[in-house]
Chains A and B, each alone.
Chain A
Amino acid sequence: MSYIQLNGITRRFGNVTAVDNLTLHIEKGECFSMLGPSGCGKTTTLRMVAGFEDIDEGEIRVGDRLLSSHKENFYLPPEKRDFGMVFQAFAVWPHMSVFENIAFPLRLRNLSADEIRSRTTEALRNTNLLDDADISPMDLSGGGKQRVALARALALNPDVMLLDEPLSSLDPHLREEMRFEIKDLQRKFGFSILYVTHDQSEAMALSDRIMVMRAGHVEQIDTPLNIYRKPASKFVFSFIGLSNFLKVVKSGDAVKPTGSDDAVNLPAPADVFGQSSAAVLASRPSEIDFGDDGHVRGLVKRRTYLGEIVDYAIVVGDQEVRVQKTARSPGPGPGETCGLKFLYPHWYPE
């Protein structure tokens, strides 16, 4: 049986259904990310697990504990759930020292002074904050503040860690560093992570599995590699990295990009066309080669040098396809025609 279970949970705000009948099973020690654009319901889901939001349908269990159940009208308040949680805006308390911030959850549990000191010190050590124990968290950088928040969440040695966009307020290079620190701490302590983010590379780098959400629904739950290589829908494809969607229309046996007379020189799966005769050929700019044996032909509208890569805008029919190649590989100049070869084509219904 899975460790964290969300069974058919629904949350409504007025007329809006923020999360719609979501069922989710997460294993002990797993790092599970919820990825999606803002308003997709990922944060609401996390807050329901934390206990800050009621649930309108379904139940939430962790291990053998029932946390929330609509049917039984049961709701365990957040302070009794014993989770660690880290928020986007740090949420460290400015009127307490770093040490006191971290000792706070321990003090609430009536531990002995010695134990509080040793466990706080341990949490400080694990987050490289030993030297900063007595200063105000306001004197720390963004990364430092977020470490305090992490240490505070760690102090109780929780089984479940809830992370709500914990790295979004940090600058990019720090974000990367903290990502690895979180991963290292997880390896060391073995807690499960529920991670909310809108940054796909963050989710990819950290997670064992990723759930891509859209408007309260699950689009795909899978490993990072499968999310990237086998996106279940056009939405998932578009959400993970740069994407081209070439609209094509089936006329007779030929499949043509709109506004073009040349057929796409690629076999299209029959089922994507469905009722309408239109479909979408999805590709990533870095997964297209130039060559005379290309699947479509186009005209180079723009060529932009970006250092490591060169960015091309290619007009195909009445659409534009982006191609990105390393600066080392040769490519056509502006105004030239060229063939485009899709190395990893994906087809989706229109």
Chain B
Amino acid sequence: MNTSVSNSPALRKTRSFGAGEVLLVISIAILVIVVVVPVALIFFNAMWVPGKGFNITDIVDVLSEPETYEALTNSIIIACGTTTMSTIVGTFFAWLVTRTDIPYKSFMKMLFLVPFMLPSFIGALAWKMLLNERIGYINNWLRSLYDVIGIADGPVFNIYSFHGIMMVETMYLFPFVFIQVSGALERMDPTLEESARISGASLFTITRKITIPLVLPSILSGALLIMLYSMAHFGTVAVLGVQVGIINIPYLIYQHIHQSAGSFAAIRTGTVLAAVLVVTAAIIMWTQNKILSRGRYQIIGGKSFRPVEVKLRGLRIPLFVFSIAYIGFTIALPTITIFLVGGLKTYGLPLVLENMTWDNYHRALFVNPQTQRAIWNSVSLGLSAAVITMFAGVIISYVIVKMKVRGKGILEFLGMLPFSVPGSVIALGVILAWGGGHTIPFTGIQINLYNTVWIILVAYIARYMALSLRANSAALEQVHDSLIEAARACGAGMAQSLRDVVLPLVRPGMIAAFFLIFLPALRELTVSVMLYGTNTRTIGVEIYVLNEDGATVESAALAGIALLIIISGQVIIERLTGVRAK
């Protein structure tokens, strides 16, 4: 009886095509254009051979090439090694700053987040300078040390190796685990540990039997993020691996794109590789969701007392010094090296004052049109991508979080996509979609953005959509429905209540999203390196290309400038908004 009433035509009239549906359609359209079409085209091209139709044998062919097989194994080895090391380092430091009486905790916590804002491929450049087997500064210093104490041929470290790559990635990626685990440890109800203590457990037993198992979901979710990142990461391997024949999937895709010079046939191999990456990423994401949904323990709550603190006693100062030294060695040392090498007259000269000059910096900023253009490209691309993605993110998040419209399920699914598509895949997909290879159905129009700055912009938007969605949905979830309903009851229409209540309240989320996108975009490499043309190099690409061309000091000078922009940007944000980039 009831159903017959609710299906009456009169009722359907009240649910007309309103503002909600318009926003839903816009949101779906944005996601389809920037993410769905590129990814779909990758799968389509991987499987569709012109003239032959759908064809799996080509995929098998590509996959069975030794080159592909090796790249895939390398990717997996590097991702696993990096993940393991980062997880250990991140968990240890998280425990140190939340569960021990180590001094200057809040300062230390900030310190461990610093690696996050620095690009790892610049780090790789620096480590190349420090630990190149023959001419690295540290290795040179080691050799002179061996000479003094009389050891012939003492061991030196060669950064051009699996170990080197994993070490450098670990230095820059461990904060993923650090943030997750220290957050979980801070929010954890201290009585969970206290009740173990009163049961007779020592601090060591509590850590082993209670604390670690309870934060295990956070550890794993951080670890999987690192794995996802490392699998799809271009820079470090390109700088440190290629010379000695270690290449990974993203580098292979890069090679195919650039060998093809825009030609379509060669790109096909790339699509198969990209498809492999997407599938791997999907598996990782799926595992992560599985773990998170099963292991989401209610460990938050209760009266807040100071948690059980391990008294480090004799180890307190040594561990503090160790932490500072770790940051000094892994972050400060390479950063300083970049600045110093950027000031050298010629690469290879000893780092002494008479070899120094401002010339490289001066040229990069005021003389060389190539580097000037790169800086301009990165800044304008970063700004545009950040603004566009920020607004698109608000609209999509609003529909997902706040609106009750039919068909929202599709959007929720599409909204998940940007999180799981690696950057190198996006780049390739964007080429397929906008590189002039396809005509838009029913229109006959062919859009060719290849070699223009627009194709990079589209790729940036796709790449950073996930960040924007996350920041904006978090902000919107704080805006309780009743705040909007209260405005409606006061006499405000839908649009008016959006303007007066919703927008002011999500503004902090939008600002956060803006900076979360703008700063990383400034130093972006993985996507830009696949898409650049002669006039559309970004800072990251320019640094990379200069380095590849052997112009090491010029490359270091530009990297130094990039670091300065990023660091000052970060400082300005923290001053202005108190929003900490995550």
Contact = CB atoms under 8 A, between A and B. Distances in A.
Interface of A: 43, 47, 50-52, 77-85, 87-89, 91, 93-95, 104-105, 108-109, 138, 149, 152-153, 156, 162, 165
Contacts of B297: 94-95, 138
A79 B198 CA distance: 5
A156 B199 CA distance: 8
A109 B205 CA distance: 12
Ordered nearest first, which 9 A-B pairs have the shortest CB separation?
A89-B302, A105-B199, A91-B191, A94-B297, A87-B191, A91-B195, A85-B198, A95-B213, A108-B200
B186 interface: no
A43 B202 CA distance: 23
Contacts of A85: 194-195, 198
A81 B198 contact: yes
Interface in B214-237: 214, 216
Interface in B353-373: none
Interface of B: 189, 191-192, 194-202, 205, 209-210, 213-214, 216, 297-299, 301-303, 305
Contacts of A43: 303
Given A91-B302, A94-B297, A138-B297, A149 B195 contact: yes
Nearest to B206: A79
Nearest to B295: A95
Given A89-B302, A91-B302, A82 B200 contact: yes
Nearest to A83: B198
Contacts of A156: 199-200
Contact of A91 (B192, B200, B209, B216): B192
Contacts of B194: 50, 52, 78, 85, 87, 91
Contact of B302 (A84, A88, A93): A88
13 contacts: A52-B197, A78-B198, A79-B198, A81-B198, A82-B200, A83-B198, A91-B194, A91-B302, A93-B214, A94-B214, A94-B297, A152-B195, A162-B198
B298 A79 contact: no
A79 B191 contact: no
B301 A79 contact: no
A6 B561 CA distance: 65
Given A91-B189, A95-B214, A50 B298 contact: no
Contacts of B301: 89
Nearest to A47: B305
A229 to B, nearest CB: 32
A152 B197 CA distance: 12
A105 B192 contact: no
A77 B192 CA distance: 17
Nearest to A105: B199
Contacts, number: 79
A108 B199 contact: yes
A79 B189 contact: no
B200 A84 contact: no
Contacts of B201: 79, 104-105, 108
A108 B198 contact: no
Nearest to B210: A93
Contact of B202 (A79, A83, A104, A105): A79
Contacts of A94: 214, 297-299
Nearest to B303: A88
A51 B303 CA distance: 17
Contacts of A138: 297-298
Contacts of A77: 197
A152 B210 CA distance: 15
Nearest to B196: A104
B191 A109 contact: no
A52 B203 CA distance: 13
A79 B200 contact: yes
B195 A87 contact: yes
B57 to A, nearest CB: 48
A242 to B, nearest CB: 27
Contacts of B200: 79-80, 82, 105, 108-109, 156
B199 A79 contact: yes
B304 to A, nearest CB: 10
Given A47-B305, A105-B200, A156-B200, 20 more contacts: A51-B198, A52-B305, A79-B197, A79-B202, A87-B194, A88-B191, A89-B189, A89-B301, A89-B302, A89-B303, A91-B191, A93-B214, A94-B214, A95-B214, A104-B209, A105-B201, A108-B199, A138-B297, A152-B199, A165-B303
Contact of A93 (B192, B202, B305): B192
Among the interface residues B192, B197, B198, which one has the most CB atoms of the partner chain A within 10 A? Answer: B198
A185 B459 CA distance: 67
Contacts of B195: 85, 87, 91, 149, 152
A83 B196 CA distance: 11
Nearest to B195: A91
Contacts of A80: 200
Nearest to B198: A85
Contacts of A165: 303
A95 B209 CA distance: 10
B302 A87 contact: yes
A83 B200 CA distance: 9
Nearest to B306: A52
B458 to A, nearest CB: 45
Contacts of A47: 305
Nearest to A85: B198
A104 B191 contact: no
Contacts of A51: 198
B129 to A, nearest CB: 46
A138 B197 CA distance: 21
A81 B198 CA distance: 7
A212 B420 CA distance: 59
Nearest to A95: B213
A95 B202 CA distance: 19
B199 A104 contact: yes
Contacts of A91: 189, 191-192, 194-195, 302
